[in-house]
């Protein structure tokens, strides 16, 4: 239960700060800027990894949880509870932002600037790179070392920096689902529910291709 609460709070913080930066940027006429939004996402993930990494692994993302399970590092019985905790935390964050900023029409929802195919491919690749990084700097389903948070946060900020204006750089189904539901903007949502899990699963395949050991344990290996 403590792990689930940690995931809920951590995902709440991610969505509240990340999409909150988008909402406040709109409310202040662009005062935060796109660079500030990208850094906010990266920094809040960094902070949550150091806060809850040793408790729940600080997945904060259903795609990451799925990726760990696909890699054999996470027990199947915990996948659905983690999903539920992450989605609840994200929904609570979006509902809070709705109360604070009722004038916001999107609440930071992710929408493609171009074609759906373009954003689908981008989201898949972005999540692939994020999950590949996570798999290579983590042990089991938890982050290791003092640089784990920096590495993951930096990748998220980097990807949001250059791809955010086109696809939103969500890489996280919970982060996209919550504002879309609360703001009633479900158009294009399928992109952000399908592409990140696909990218995360592809990352486990790539990790097995480039590492002889240490990426994905054998089927009989014990998971955390």
Q: Could you tell me which of 10, 32, 18 has the C-alpha nearest to residue 159? A: 18
Specify the pLDDT at position 179: 97
Cα separation, 213 vs 20, whole angstroms: 40
* Model confidence pTM above 0.85: yes
Query: Alpha-carbon distance 180 to 219, whole Å?
Result: 37
Measured distance CA(190)–CA(124) in Å, rounded: 12
pLDDT value at residue 96: 98
**Domains of the chain by residue range:** 2-210
Q: Are 113 and 105 in contact (CB under 8 A)?
A: no
The answer to whether 132 touches 207, Cβ cutoff 8 Å, is yes
Q: What is the mean pLDDT of each run of 10 residues along the chain (224 residues)?
A: 95 97 96 97 95 90 96 93 97 97 95 96 97 84 69 96 95 97 95 97 90 56 33
Domain 2-210 sits in CATH at 1.20.1080.10
User: What are the angstrom distances between the C-alpha of 199 and each of 34, 66, 68, 166, 192?
Assistant: 24, 10, 12, 17, 11
E-strand spans in 56-190?
A: 138-139, 142-143
């Amino acid at each position: 239960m403590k792990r689930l609460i940690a995931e809920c709070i951590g995902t709440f913080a991610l969505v509240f700060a990340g999409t909150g930066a988008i909402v406040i940027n709109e409310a202040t006429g662009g005062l935060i800027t796109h660079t500030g939004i990208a850094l906010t996402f990266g920094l809040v993930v960094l902070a949550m990894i150091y806060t809850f990494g040793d408790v729940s692994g600080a997945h904060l993302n259903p795609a990451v949880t799925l990726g760990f399970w696909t890699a054999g590092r996470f027990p199947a019985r915990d996948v659905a509870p983690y999903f539920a905790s992450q989605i609840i935390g994200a929904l609570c964050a979006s509902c809070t932002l709705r109360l604070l900023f009722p004038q916001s029409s999107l609440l930071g929802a992710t929408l493609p600037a171009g074609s759906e195919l373009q954003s689908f491919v981008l989201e898949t690749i972005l999540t692939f790179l994020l999950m590949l990084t996570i798999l290579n700097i983590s042990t089991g389903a938890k982050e290791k070392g003092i640089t784990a948070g920096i590495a993951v946060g930096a990748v998220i900020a980097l990807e949001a920096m250059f791809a955010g204006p086109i696809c939103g750089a969500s890489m996280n189904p919970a982060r996209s689902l919550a504002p879309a539901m609360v703001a009633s903007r479900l158009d294009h949502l399928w992109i952000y529910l399908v592409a990140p899990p696909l990218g995360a699963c592809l990352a486990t395949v790539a990790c097995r291709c480039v590492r002889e050991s240490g990426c994905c344990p054998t089927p009989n290996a014990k998971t955390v």
